[in-house]
Structure 1
Amino acid sequence: MPNRFGPSFGRQIPERLIRCLNGGAVRYEILHEPSDAADSGRRLIVPGLIATAVVRAGKQRFLAVTSTGFDLDLKRFSKLVGEPVRLETEDEFKWLFPDCALGAIPPFGNLYGLITWVDNTLIKTEHIVFFAGTLIDSIKLSYSAYEQIVQPNVGAFTNKRSR
């Protein structure tokens, strides 16, 4: 039976994410979307919205962070990490993020024991917006503050999405 409350019912923004942001003494804004938007599959559409993907290279996992207007290029990512890579399925990685709804993993690999890679198209972005562990809560944060907290690796591993 489907969850009549939607995929984020009972979920809160992970405490470890809030502690990390507050501990970094950075300014951020929490954006809240009505729960019916998550229920109907609608998503927040704002400038700076980013996406995350879990990528595997051998026994190593990485968190790849991209702009939503770009597609992850696994061949380019493979060159960065020096070995063949593949996307992990949700079933393979969901245990890593017990405090997050699927599809709402924040771009903080450091909080989950993963090396974070950010596509270079994001480094000139003033602010980023990302799902904060739920499908109805997002956080807006300056890219420079994000970079200060996460200290991600940066590389070119996306292609502009064709319309």
Structure 2
Amino acid sequence: MANEQDIYEEHVLDHYEDPYHRGVLENATHEDEGKNPLCGDVIQVTLRLDDEGRVAEAWFDGEGCVISQASASMLIEKIEGKTPEEIRDFSANEMLELFGPKLTPNRQKCCLLSWRVLQSALHSPIEDDDEDDSDGPSFGGPSLGEES
């Protein structure tokens, strides 16, 4: 397997230190979040699909190791302009190739976290909350919080 130093190749460190589109996309149409319970890495992916269904913008946020954060940056940069079908066809092996350095199976989970979250974000449209801001059904009377 890889020498531990090989993981920190220049392009990996560049994405870790100066990530592409890190933050939360305010006008997102799709989003999801995932975590690697083995190490605590967390990734949130927010997407805005345009009228043609392509990814107009993609952002990620989260915390974790160099591998999880750098691979998220690489992935987000790669998928902008792609259709959901193109993203679904992008395999886990292709994600590992995009990252570059060979990884042990446990470190592959760090690298693939953003890929898994992206795949599920495509199936997680953000609901339009403009119509009703309540947290549940409304029965026309005071809420429990309003009673004294």
User: What is the TM-score normalised by the length of structure 2?
Assistant: 0.28
Higher strand share: 1
Higher helix share: 2
User: What is the TM-score normalised by the length of structure 1?
Assistant: 0.26
